[in-house]
Structures are given as structure tokens and as C-alpha cells.
Amino acid sequence: MASWPTSADVESAASQIAGVAHRTPVATSRLVDDRAGAHLFFKCENLQRSGAFKFRGAYNALSRLSPSEAKRGVVTFSSGNHAQAIALAGQVLDIPRVIVMPSDAPSVKRVATEGYGGEVVLYDRDREDREEIGRRLARERGLTLIPPYDHPHIIAGQGTAARELFEDVGPLDFLFMPCGGGGLLSGSAIAARAMSPGCKVIGVEPAAGDDANRSFRSKQLQTVHNPTTVADGARTPSLGTLTFPLVLEYVSDMAAVDDSTLLRTMFYLWERLKLVVEPTGALGAAAALEGAQPILGKRVGVILSGGNVDLTQVSQWLAM
Ligand SMILES: *Cc1c(COP(=O)(O)O)cnc(C)c1O
């Protein structure tokens, strides 16, 4: 399984998900372009099924299981968008799916996951190890473990978002997107190398969880433990065994933005583009608009990666 994903795999994922995942629109704005002095193209994965690009990888991975694997089902550990994506992809494909979630996960996430028909198994974040529970369930019930980013079919599936963007708008000078475990970033960078070879691909993290920035610069895998940031989709401890080498090979640079810059950008996108993007989903836009790279006069792609906002938190964010 641990074969390196290539642009042929991204292409194959694109046909695998065609007609099931949404081909999301590309948003543009004269006002945003004037402010940035550049041409910006926003790929709206906040409008993807289940509310984030994660459905692409989840469906690509689940639809490639053998009939007997599909019959037994899958397990994953995540409280976020990967859980919802696996729950929905399993519903579409009629594959049983178990989601291991912390007992204190926000109830909106648990309700959304159960709404897509996933079986939720709760664990105590302080006393239990979620990977251990996932592996035990896989063993005991014969389930296939589908990790959130470090898996060739997940990486290839996520790369289809960038692939569609290049198909729709042509070559770009820059492409910005968030980086958590690096599945979206490595898949998109593989697609960029094939479809727009001159494009600089930039991964963006929250400043409090900048392990991938440090890994990229030191070329040694760095980790971070439970960073405090509003970008909950990018709190991952480190890049993976597949995504780290892929990021080193394909990605041009990394950037980091602090939470107040991130929230300012998120609200700007809500106001100006009328697009509800979650904090993590605004990381790429924040780096592009706040001068992380010299984009003046350039053609710039930005992946708005997700839109699953817990609206009860908005008043806190406005106060930050
Ligand atoms: C998971 C997620 C990310 C990070 O993706 P990785 O593949 O883990 O790097 C970014 N944005 C959103 C909205 C996500 O759900």
C-alpha cells in the first residue's frame, strides 16, 4: 500500500469521485483583487459535500476497498472533518464505519457524524489513546483503518481539488492552502507539478502549530503537542511518513499566520465573498493576502478548504 502517489493517481482519483463529489466553484472578486494587486482564484471546498475537501480523499479510499473489506467496514479516529467525510462516504457506498471520537468533542461534530450514519465510539482523552482504540477495533471487528492524511488514496483524492482548479482557470503563479497533516498539501502539489509546473505551492499553518514549517526548513520531522489555535483542522502533531517526504519534494515554501490575522481574514471572506469559511479554511487566504509571498500582479490560487463553523463560537472570535 505504501506506494508513492503520483499525478496519475490524482487523475485516477478524479475519475473515481466524478459525479459523487461536487466539482466546487471558483470564486473571484474585483474588490479582493484590487486590494491584493493580484488575480485571486478561490477554490470553494467549503461548498464540498460534508463541508470540506476531506470527502474527496475519503470517497477515493473507501470506493477502492475490496468487496470483503467493504462488507466488514472501516474505522477512523478523528473528531473533525475527516470523521464526517468518512461517515458520509460510507453512507453513499453502504460501508459500515466506526468513528473514534473524544467524549468531549463538540456536540455539533458528533451530531453531524451520527447524522451521516456513522457509529461513534467515545474515548476519554485524558486516559485513553485513540490510535490504540482504533487499532483494537480494527483487529477485533476486522475493520480497515483509514487514517486522515497519511494514506496514498487519501493524498491522491485531496489532490483533485487543485487539479480541478487548474482545469478551470489554467496555470497559476502561486497556490496557497492550509497544512495540517499535509494530505491536502502534498496531493495538491503533485497535481500542480503536472498541470502548472511553474506554480509555487505554499502550505500554511497556524503560528502556534508550525511543526511543518520547522520540518520543511530543517528537513527533520518536527512535532508539536496540542497547540492552542482557532484553526482546529491544523492542530495535527506532525506531517506523516508519506506526506513529509512529499512536502519536501513538491512544495515550494511554507508560511504561518497568527490567530488574529486568521480570524480577520476569515471574516473578510465572509463579508466580501459571502462565503462561510471555517478558521482553518482561511489559512491559505490569510497568507496570500497578508504578504507571505510577493504576489503583486500574479495569478494566485487559494484553496478555501472547509466551512464547518460552530456558530456558537463566533462571538468569542469577534472578541479576539
Ligand atoms: C483537515 C483539514 C485541513 C488540513 O488538511 P491536511 O490534509 O491534514 O493537511 C485543512 N482545512 C480543513 C478545513 C480541514 O478539515
Q: What is the pLDDT of residues 93-118, one digit of tens each?
A: 999 999 998 888 777 778 888 999 99
Residue 2 has a pLDDT of 55
Q: For ligand 1, atom 4, which residue shows the shortest CA distance?
A: 180
Ordered structural domains, the chain, with CATH: 7-52+153-318 (3.40.50.1100), 55-145 (3.40.50.1100)
Span from the CA of 155 to the centroid of ligand 1 (angstroms): 11
Per-residue pLDDT for 313 more than 80? Answer: yes
pLDDT, mean of residues 257-280 = 98
Ligand 1 pocket member 233 (CB < 6 A): yes
- Nearest 5°: the CA angle 35, 38, 42 is 90
pTM for the model stands at 0.96
Give yes or no for residue 1 having a pLDDT over 60: no
Q: Which three cell numbers stand for residue 100?
A: 473514534
Residue with the nearest Cα to atom 5 of ligand 1?
A: 180
Q: Which three cell numbers stand for residue 40?
A: 485571486
Encode pLDDT of 180-196 as tens digits: 999 999 999 999 999 99
Active-site residues: which are they? 54, 79, 205, 209, 211, 305
